[in-house]
Amino acid sequence: MKKSLPVLIILFAAFLLSACGDSRKHTQAVYMLVDTSGTYTKQINKAARVINYLLATLNPGDSLAVAKVETRSFTEKDIIDKVTFDRRPSEATQQKRAFKSRIEAFTRGVHGSAYTDITGGLIQAAEYLNETRAGKKTIVIFSDMQEELGKGTVRDFPIKLNGIRIVALNVSKLGTDNADPRLYIDRLAHWKARVLKAGATSWEVVNDLDNNMEAILDPRR
């Protein structure tokens, strides 16, 4: 019995260590791309509402980053703010407050860009999300999904979005879409095929932000 006691203690400790393994897999990370091109800047208040929703919903330990989609978006400079919330709820609340005020400052001074580099933003988002090592990773794209690349910007290559869920928000119809809806449908189908081919776990479109905001983080809805 005396000999078996240390063995039992070691086994118990090993069990506890294995059980307490990686707590990051229970967290989630969200990267939100906000389209600031052309007339879409007028929708910035809606984007702020979505960010507020995310701030209210994310838990301590989760990560959130908000970046703008510009002419060339594959750069850290486009990240407006990013944060990994503290494990303590009180500290996380303070971080959320600070995040909110930075986003408010951004919305006040936003100005439109000439082009829309969604692919660059996606690559940047995937890079950030993979770094967080969160269990659930989501890219939220607040855009009309009309990609316009400037001269010299190369994005026609396969991208990697393994294990990431993509949610397109407020995909507004353009003037040309109204004339020929197939353009809109084809545009969404193109992006769906592209992100799924890149390894994304799912592709969802949420346009009704008033009633279906929960679908951003909850894939069951």
Partner 1 sequence: MDRNSWLFWPDSVALSVLTLLILAMLFLYAARKPMHGVIHSLCNLVTQSTRFISRWLFLSAESLRLRNQAVLLAHSQESAASMVDREFERVSNIIRKDMQEFPALQRKLKEDVTRIEDDYRKCGEVPPPPPEWVDALESVSQIKSGGDIPRKLLEDINKSIQKIHDKTVAEFRRSYEERHKILKGIQPSWRSAEKLIDEMDKKMVTLNTNAKQIDGHMAKFEGIRAKDSKTEHALNVSAFVQLAISSLVMVIALGGAFINYKLIALPMSEMVGASDYITDNLRTSDVAALVIILMEASMGLFLLESLRITQLFPKIASMDDRMRRRLMLASLIFLVILAAIESSLALMRDMLVADKAALMHDLASSAPPATQGWMSNIPMAGQMVMGFVLPFALAFVAIPLESVVHSLRTVLGVLLVQGMRGLGFVLRFTGVVFRRLAKVLESSYDIFIVIPLMVERWVVAMRGEPLVKAQAKSGRAS
Given the rule CB under 8 A, which residues bind partner 1?
Answer: 16, 19-20, 23, 26-27, 52-53, 55-56, 59-62, 87-90, 92-93, 96-97, 100
Question: Which residue, 62 or 147, is less far from partner 1 as judged by CB?
Answer: 62
CB 66 within 8 A of CB 53: no
Taking the complex as a whole, the smallest distance from the CB of residue 168 to partner 1 amounts, in Å, to 23
Taking the complex as a whole, the smallest distance from the CB of residue 121 to partner 1 amounts, in Å, to 24
CB 169 within 8 A of CB 206: yes
- Give dist(CA 159, CA 162) in Å, integer: 9
Taking the complex as a whole, the smallest distance from the CB of residue 52 to partner 1 amounts, in Å, to 4
Residue type, 192: K
**Nearest one of 39, 104, 111, 129 to 68, comparing CA atoms:** 111
Question: Which residue, 22 or 208, is less far from partner 1 as judged by CB?
Answer: 22
Question: Which residue, 59 or 162, is less far from partner 1 as judged by CB?
Answer: 59
Question: Which residue, 6 or 211, is less far from partner 1 as judged by CB?
Answer: 211
- Give dist(CA 134, CA 25) in Å, integer: 5
**Nearest one of 143, 38, 132, 26 to 83, comparing CA atoms:** 132
Taking the complex as a whole, the smallest distance from the CB of residue 207 to partner 1 amounts, in Å, to 22
